[in-house]
Amino acid sequence: MNLAFAGLRHGHIFALYAMAKEHPEFTVAGAWEEDADSRAAAEKQGLCCCYNTYEELLADPCVDAVAFGGCFTDRGPLAIEALRAGKHVIADKPLCTTLAELDEIERLAKEKGLFVSCMFTLRYEKKMAAVKALCESGELGEINNVYFGGQHPLQYGRRPMWYFEPGKHGGTINDIAIHGIDMLRYAFGLKLTEVNSARCWNKYAKEQPHVKDCGQFMATADNGAGILSDVSYAIPDGIEFGLPYYWRFYAWGTEGVIEFSEGGADPVWYKKGDPAPRPLPETEAPVDYLTDVLAMMRGEKCVLTMQEVFDSTRAALTVQAAADR
């Protein structure tokens, strides 16, 4: 699989580049980036920006798939162009920033027999595999209440400044909550069906009052479960991602309850009738992300299907649209 990169303005894309370099079935064909500073930074990491224009990249018959890591609002239009040119799409999240873009991406992929994936990387964490197995065992019963927090540090002055430019970001809920919304589907078997309330507002980016850096929402899942979430840029700078509040989940079922965080200790759960906490040791993640992408393309069993990419993205965009109204 020959993979080219389009847009190198978010650090996540270099994690994908590192994975592709080491994967035996991927070859990095090169990259395109219009911003001079971002090109220079990419070259320092060994990623050659050998395409002068995006059109040149898409015209290269050696390129099978395009990976996107630019400004959030650029990604949807670029992905649409890639699909029109007959290229598969692998995107950092978010895949796009409007429901209209998502409709066109989904239509083109299915019409042309192409594949679209998105880096929903929480699915590939050892903790998440263990939580999913517990939920599927029935030990927690039916999940009826979930809270998840995905608070991040703002890092103003260190985070790429396009985050704070009007028209470049597309919304804090779509940016951050997409991971938690996808985990509802993957680990807990829940799909959002109704947005009860949603709000984005400015609180921490005082230098940029137009930036709505806080996001919260309340939603209902397909089984009637209630979902509460906060995904604000509220973690104090200097602490960064070390707190256990970074990606923290609580789920209450008819037979038990579980709480865990992405970066903390093993998950702990409680069984109905027994007050003693039960640790849930991590289990091996089923597969790495890029191997899973290949499995999806080959029609084999995979952790993340293309339809799940579309469905989780649609749910996040729907919540964001409710907050923007």
Q: If you write DSSP's letter for every residue of 233-278 in order, what string do you get?
A: S-BPTTTTT-STTTTEEEEEESSEEEEEESSSSS-EEEETTEEEEE
pTM: 0.96
Question: Same domain for 101 and 162?
Answer: no
Residue 40: the pLDDT is: 95
167/276 same-domain check: yes
What average pLDDT does the segment 211-231 reach?
Answer: 98
Note the pLDDT tens digit of each residue in 104-150. 999 999 999 999 999 999 999 989 999 999 999 999 999 999 999 99
pLDDT averaged over every residue in the chain? 96
Task: For the chain, report the end-to-end CA distance as a whole number of angstroms.
Answer: 42
CATH number at residue 276: 3.30.360.10
Are residues 136 and 109 located together in one domain of the fold? no
| Number of neighbouring beta carbons within 10 Å of residue 209 | 8
The answer to whether residue 311 sits within a structural domain is no
DSSP state, residue 52: S
Q: What is the CATH number of the domain that holds 87?
A: 3.40.50.720
Domain count, the chain: 2
Shared domain check, 277 and 129: yes
Question: Measured in whole angstroms, how far is the alpha carbon of residue 136 from the centre of its chain?
Answer: 23
What pLDDT sits at residue 100? 98
pLDDT at 54: 98
Q: Among 99, 118, 137, where does a domain finish?
A: 118
Q: Which domain holds residue 248?
A: 121-286
Residues 135, 194, single domain; the answer is yes
Residue 106 lies in a domain: yes
Residues 105 and 246 in one domain: no
Measured N-to-C along each axis, helices 99-112 and 306-324 cross at an angle, to the nearest 10 degrees, of 160
pLDDT at 242: 75
For residue 24, which amino acid is it?
P
- Percent of the chain exceeding pLDDT 90 equals 93
In a domain, 300, yes or no: no
| 202 and 210 Cβ atoms separated by less than 8 Å | yes
Answer yes or no: do 211 and 229 share one domain. Answer: yes
d(CA 200, CA 162): 19
C-alpha span between 62 and 68 (Å, rounded): 17
Asked whether residue 269 falls in the same domain as residue 148, the answer is yes
Residue 99: the pLDDT is: 98
23 and 36: one domain? yes
47-50 contacts: CB < 8 A, separation 24 or more? 47/5, 47/8, 47/14, 47/17, 49/8
pLDDT of residue 313: 98
Q: Is 143 found in the same domain as 95? A: no
* Lookup: tokens for 67: 């990976």
Contact 13, 44 (CB under 8 A): no
Q: Is the pLDDT score of 262 beyond 90?
A: no
Give domain status of residue 98, yes or no. Answer: yes
Helices (H), the chain: 12-22, 36-44, 54-59, 72-84, 99-112, 126-137, 172, 178-186, 289-297, 306-324
Residues 192 and 276 in one domain: yes
Lowest-confidence pick of 9-23, 67-81, 207-221, 229-243? 229-243
Task: Verify that 178 and 108 share a domain, yes or no.
Answer: no
Length of the chain: 325
271, two tokens: 């069984």
Largest CA distance in the chain: 65
